[in-house]
Structure formats: structure tokens, C-alpha cells
């Protein structure tokens, strides 16, 4: 079936409280798509229930009754899988700041358009997302038909999304019980959907298999890897501290960026972005919250241009976590040499591979940032798990934090600790640079 026939009759829902914007969008799209309109999020939600043929939603952010973020949240949380996976393009105006855009992206927005949009831009984005959604639906239907092992992704051999989440719950329960650390990493290949659409399924699958090998060669035996999206991978890292988790993510992204692929007459190079968290584990920590934090960081990394790693050092409160998020940026060269390139597996005779990965180019050594000082609670966790060496560089600062407590106790002990406190202060003075 041709792309034209596939698009014919495809419904697109345009949601905006401005009738002028809706009319403009309808005039641009009506030659190729059936355009439905809604003036706010509530009306759009009703239209989605009544029209199962809607293949794409284009929604403004600022609207009465139910705004674009509220509509996006309903769609992504819908029990109906068709709705939950529906591509949603968010239209932003001058009044929408970067935080609003980042929040929409992290909540599951598929793409962004800015007002005023022109006909070429709107048509190109609409065509691309409808074609991608159609392709993903066909891939999912094929995988479902031949799937024999429900816990494993058939293409990569990694855990699928459900099994990955189940394993994450188990590792978190272990970390809580044993008061150990836990890292969570989400890695997504930047702009992979565009390459998938341009070069087709055989090339896309071959690339994903190579990237899977990079991940498998980089992680430890006790780590868990899963494929949780089209080109998105998740890692659960038991007993991993902030520095180790970040270095692993940087190393994987570096190796992905170092690969080049020859596809016909084209040379393709892809990059990857990652979100890394190493949270402070408490008895009430929930794995769903950790997933949201990691995916939010990944969304911000990609929305900032991709080819970067954003990481959370791990602190006690959610607002503090946001405050200490730092960007690795160009610090994407790993501390190990990239694995040798491999030729993608042969495809069927109908689709010759015509694709090989040459030796990666050497990457510059990154300038490393000093490790941030742990909190007292984190230091105790590290001391129990890894011994004195894990906290030795931070001991003077940690003891200084404890001094006010020791002094308060000393006052209740009638000064019996004066001599000991003086020795501690003298030792701290001599340790200062």
C-alpha cells in the first residue's frame, strides 16, 4: 500500500482555543488528512473517545478547562493502549517558557511546533509522526504474533519494558533491605526515529543490535538492561554510586557516538543522550518515582540538543535533586577504549544489509569534575558498603558537620569531652590546605 493511500482518510485532531489557529491548520492539512477540531482539552478528550481513527493530536499548551499538559497527561495515562501511544505534537507560543516545554517533553510529548507555524513545517511534522506511528504499530503487531517469551525483547534479547520494571522493583527492595546504593540510567538514541523512517527496518534493526552489544559489553554481570522503547534502553545498577553510574552512561553514549554506518551512498552517525539518577534510598522510595526522575532527566537532555548526559547526585528531597542536576555536555568521552566495530547481522535476501560499522574514531579524554561531597547519610551508606576508602577524601568535611552535635553533647556531659574536642579541632586545622 502506498504512503498516499495510507494517509488518505487518516484523522488528525487539532486542539486550540483560537479558531484562527484551527482554521489555519485545517487549510494546510486538509489536502492529505481528515482534520478534526477541538477548542479545549476536554472537547479534545471527548473527540478521542468518539473517533478511534485519530492518528495524531496537535495541541496548544495554554487553553481553558483542560490545558495541553492536562490533555497530554490523560492520553499517556489512558488504559486504552491506542490512546496511550498516540503521537502528540505540542504547539508552544511566546508565553510558554523553556520549563513548560521541558515539562511537556518529559510528560511524553512527541514533538514541538512554535506559533506561528508555516505550511511546510506543519505538514512535514505531521507526515513524519503518522508514518512513524504506523511503522511502530506494524512492528508491534508482528512481534506480538511471533512472541514466545513474554519477558524478553525479541530483537535485542534484553528484558522488555514490563520485565525491566519488575526487576527494578526487586533491586530496589534489596537496596532498601540492605541499605545499599542503586543507580538507574535511561539511554535513548537521538533522532533514531528519523533514521528508521529514512533507511527502513533492516538498517534500523541492525543498528539497534550493535547498540545492544555496546550496552552488554559495558555493564557488570549484576546489572540489568532492558529495551523500554523504540531506541530507548534502561539500566538498573545495584550498589552503584553517583560517579560509577555517570561514568557508565558517558562511556556507552561515547561508544554509540563513535560508530559510523555506511548505508548505500550515505554515511550515518548517531548520538545518544542519557538521564542518570543515584537516589538516596529510603524505606518509602518507590521505583515508579525513580523511573519518572530518570526519564525526566533524559527528556531534558534530548530537548537541550542531545548528545549529553544529565545526572542527579542523589539528595533527600525532590526539589534538592532538581537543584543539583548537572550536565555532562561535551564530556562524552569514556575512560575506556571503544569496543571494536562489528558488521550488523545479515538480513533476508529481500533486504540486503549494505551496511557495515568501521573502526570508531578515537575520542578525547574528558575533563572530569570533582566528586561532590556526600551527605552524612550517604557517607554512612558508603562506609557500610565499601569501607573507609569510599569516604576517606571527605572525612574532614564530614567531621566538621558533626562537631556541633559533639559540642552539644559535651555541654550535657559537664565538659568531660573538652580535651577530645580540642584534639579533633587541632587535627582538622592541620588537614586544611
- What CATH number did the domain enclosing 279 receive? 3.30.70.270
Within-domain flag for 381: no
Within-domain flag for 91: yes
Q: Are residues 188 and 313 in the same domain?
A: yes
Distance CA 58, CA 25 (A): 9
Q: Are residues 138 and 285 in the same domain?
A: no
**What is the DSSP secondary structure assignment for residue 331, as one 8-state letter?**
-
| Model pLDDT, residue 168 | 95
Q: Are residues 189 and 317 in the same domain?
A: yes
Within-domain flag for 379: no
Q: Is the pLDDT of residue 42 over 70?
A: yes
| Model pLDDT, residue 362 | 45
Least confident segment among 100-109, 353-362, 387-396: 353-362
Q: Are residues 217 and 118 in the same domain?
A: no
Within-domain flag for 341: no
Within-domain flag for 338: no
What torsion do the CA atoms of 107, 109, 114, 117 make, to the nearest 10 degrees?
Answer: -160
Q: Tell me, rounded to whole angstroms, the distance of Cα 190 from its chain centroid.
A: 11
Domain total for the chain?
3
Within-domain flag for 367: no
pTM of the model: 0.44
Q: Are residues 227 and 280 in the same domain?
A: yes
> Residue 48 sits in a domain of what CATH number?
3.40.50.2300
More confident residue, 262 or 413: 262
For the chain, percent of residues with pLDDT exceeding 90? 40
Q: Is the pLDDT of residue 343 over 70?
A: no
- Bridge partners for 184 per DSSP: 236, 277
Tens of pLDDT, residue by residue over 6-32, are: 455 689 999 999 999 999 999 999 889
Q: Are residues 180 and 131 in the same domain?
A: no
Whether the Cβ atoms of residue 12 and residue 126 lie closer than 8 Å to each other: yes
Tens of pLDDT, residue by residue over 106-116, are: 888 888 888 87
Distance CA 116, CA 407 (A): 64
Q: Are residues 196 and 305 in the same domain?
A: yes
Least confident segment among 97-106, 148-157, 353-362, 407-416: 353-362
pLDDT band per the 50, 70, 90 thresholds, residue 224 = very high
409 is written with which cell numbers?
A: 553533647
Q: Are residues 23 and 167 in the same domain?
A: no
| Model pLDDT, residue 95 | 67
| Model pLDDT, residue 3 | 43
Q: Are residues 131 and 252 in the same domain?
A: no
Q: Are residues 55 and 191 in the same domain?
A: no
Q: Is the pLDDT of residue 375 over 70?
A: yes
Q: Is the pLDDT of residue 142 over 90?
A: no
From 119, 145, 171, the end of a domain falls on 145
| Model pLDDT, residue 13 | 94
β-strands 266-269, 260-263 pairing: antiparallel
Whether the Cβ atoms of residue 12 and residue 29 lie closer than 8 Å to each other: yes
Q: Are residues 118 and 229 in the same domain?
A: no
For the chain, percent of residues with pLDDT exceeding 70? 76
More confident residue, 388 or 184: 184
Q: Are residues 233 and 321 in the same domain?
A: yes
Grouping H, G, I as helix, E, B as strand and the rest as coil, residue 135 is helix
Within-domain flag for 251: yes
| Model pLDDT, residue 403 | 75
| Model pLDDT, residue 408 | 74
More confident residue, 377 or 182: 182
Whether the Cβ atoms of residue 61 and residue 91 lie closer than 8 Å to each other: yes
Within-domain flag for 112: yes
| Model pLDDT, residue 81 | 84
* Domain range enclosing 118: 3-145
Whether the Cβ atoms of residue 257 and residue 198 lie closer than 8 Å to each other: no
Amino acid at each position: 500500500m502506498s504512503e498516499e493511500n495510507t494517509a488518505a482518510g487518516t484523522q488528525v485532531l487539532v486542539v486550540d482555543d483560537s479558531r484562527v489557529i484551527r482554521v489555519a491548520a485545517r487549510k494546510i492539512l486538509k489536502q492529505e488528512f481528515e482534520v478534526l477540531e477541538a477548542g479545549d482539552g476536554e472537547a479534545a478528550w471527548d473527540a478521542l473517545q468518539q473517533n478511534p481513527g485519530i492518528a495524531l493530536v496537535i495541541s496548544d499548551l495554554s487553553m481553558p478547562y483542560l490545558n495541553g499538559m492536562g490533555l497530554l497527561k490523560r492520553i499517556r495515562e489512558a488504559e486504552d493502549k491506542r490512546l496511550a501511544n498516540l503521537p502528540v505534537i505540542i504547539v508552544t507560543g511566546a508565553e510558554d517558557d523553556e520549563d513548560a516545554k521541558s515539562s511537556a517533553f518529559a510528560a511524553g510529548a512527541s514533538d514541538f511546533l512554535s506559533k506561528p507555524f508555516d505550511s511546510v513545517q506543519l505538514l512535514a511534522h505531521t507526515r513524519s509522526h503518522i508514518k512513524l506511528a504506523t511503522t511502530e504499530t506494524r512492528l508491534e503487531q508482528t512481534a506480538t504474533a511471533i512472541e514466545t517469551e513474554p519477558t524478553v525483547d525479541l530483537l535485542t534479547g534484553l528484558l522488555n519494558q514490563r520485565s525491566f520494571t519488575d526487576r527494578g522493583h526487586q533491586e530496589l527492595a534489596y537496596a532498601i533491605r540492605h541499605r545499599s546504593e542503586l543507580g538507574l540510567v535511561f539511554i535513548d538514541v537521538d533522532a533514531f526515529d528519523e533514521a528508521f523512517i529514512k533507511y527502513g527496518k533492516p538498517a534500523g534493526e541492525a543498528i539497534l543490535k550493535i547498540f545492544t552489544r555496546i550496552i552488554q559489553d559495558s555493564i557488570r554481570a549484576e546489572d540489568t538492561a532492558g529495551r523500554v522503547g523504540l531506541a530507548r534502553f534502561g539500566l538498573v545498577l545495584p550498589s552503584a554510586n553517583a560517579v560509577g553510574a555517570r561514568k557508565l552512561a558517558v562511556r556507552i553514549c561515547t561508544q554509540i557516538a563513535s560508530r559510523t554506518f555506511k548505508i548505500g551512498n550515505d554515511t550515518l552517525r548517531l548520538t545518544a543522550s542519557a538521564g542518570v539518577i543515584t537516589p538516596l534510598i529510603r524505606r518509602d522510595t518507590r521505583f515508579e518515582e525513580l523511573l519518572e526522575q530518570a526519564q525526566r532527566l533524559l527528556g531534558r537532555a534530548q530537548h537541550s540538543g542531545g548528545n549529553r548526559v544529565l545526572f542527579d547526585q542523589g539528595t533527600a528531597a525532590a526539589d534538592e535533586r532538581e537543584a543539583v542536576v548537572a550536565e555532562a555536555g561535551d564530556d562524552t568521552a569514556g575512560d575506556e577504549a571503544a569496543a571494536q566495530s562489528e558488521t550488523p547481522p545479515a538480513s533476508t535476501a529481500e533486504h540486503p544489509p549494505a551496511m557495515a560499522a568501521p573502526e570508531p574514531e578515537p575520542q578525547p579524554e574528558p575533563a572530569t569534575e570533582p566528586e561532590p561531597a556526600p551527605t552524612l547519610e550517604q557517607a554512612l551508606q558508603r562506609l557500610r558498603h565499601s569501607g573507609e576508602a569510599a569516604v576517606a577524601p571527605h572525612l574532614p568535611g564530614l567531621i566538621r558537620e558533626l562537631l556541633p552535635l559533639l559540642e552539644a553533647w559535651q555541654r550535657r556531659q559537664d565538659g568531660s569531652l573538652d580535651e577530645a574536642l580540642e584534639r579533633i579541632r587541632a587535627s582538622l586545622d592541620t588537614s586544611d590546605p
